[in-house]
Structure 1
Amino acid sequence: MMRHIVMFRRLAGVEPQPELEARLVAQMRGLEAEIDFIRQWNVAANELHRPICWDYILESTFDDGAAVERYLPHPAHQALVADLKQYFEWVAVDYSV
């Protein structure tokens, strides 16, 4: 199994837009229903607001690295990325479990 973790935060210089942010997070949460080879999917908001913290985390699991590589260019994922990049920046980590 391969774990794919992504952390998101609002881009520097972008004013908070709560309605847009809520829509984007809902899109993130709904992506699992669009890609049938995702094994586990969880999007959570940060609860302790410290300078070191990011705003959201996506924790997902795939069968293997090849499945992650299939996921990244998937049209549903790419559509989400196009929407997210207007508001968020992100970092990712992929590792075997």
Structure 2
Amino acid sequence: MIRHLVLFKLNEGVSRDEERVRASVRATMELKGRIPELEFWECAWNITDRPIAYDFAINSAVADTDALKRYIEHPAHQAAVARWREFATWVIADYEF
């Protein structure tokens, strides 16, 4: 199994309450039902307020590197990424477990 972690940081001046942000969160939450490779999926807003904290997190898992590649290339994933790209930056980590 491969764990796929993503941490999003909203750009300066961008609020969680903006419609484009809310729409991106909805699209992200819906990926679980749309991409068969996802064996585990959870995502949520960060609940702490610390200078080093990111704003939104995804914790997911896929079976193997082929499944990860299919997930990354899936049109629904690409559409969600395009939304976030408008107002946030992110970091990822993929590891086997």
- Confirm or deny a common fold (TM above 0.5): yes
> What TM-score do the two structures reach when normalised by structure 2?
0.91
- 4+ residue segments displaced more than 3 Å: none
Equivalent residues, number: 96
The correspondence of residues 43-58 of structure 1 with structure 2, limited to 5 A, is 43-58=43-58
* Local SS of the residue matching 1:72: helix
The correspondence of residues 69-88 of structure 1 with structure 2, limited to 5 A, is 69-88=69-88
Report what 2:32 is aligned to.
32
- Distance (whole Å) between structure 2 residues aligned to residue 58 and residue 4 of structure 1: 8
* Local SS of the residue matching 2:9: strand
Alignment check: 8 A CA contact 2:37 2:70 kept: no
The one-letter code matched in structure 1 to 2:89 is E
| Structure 1, unaligned runs of 5 or more | none
Superposed CA RMSD: 1.2
Identity, % of aligned positions: 34
- Distance (whole Å) between structure 1 residues aligned to residue 79 and residue 23 of structure 2: 14
- Distance (whole Å) between structure 1 residues aligned to residue 50 and residue 3 of structure 2: 26
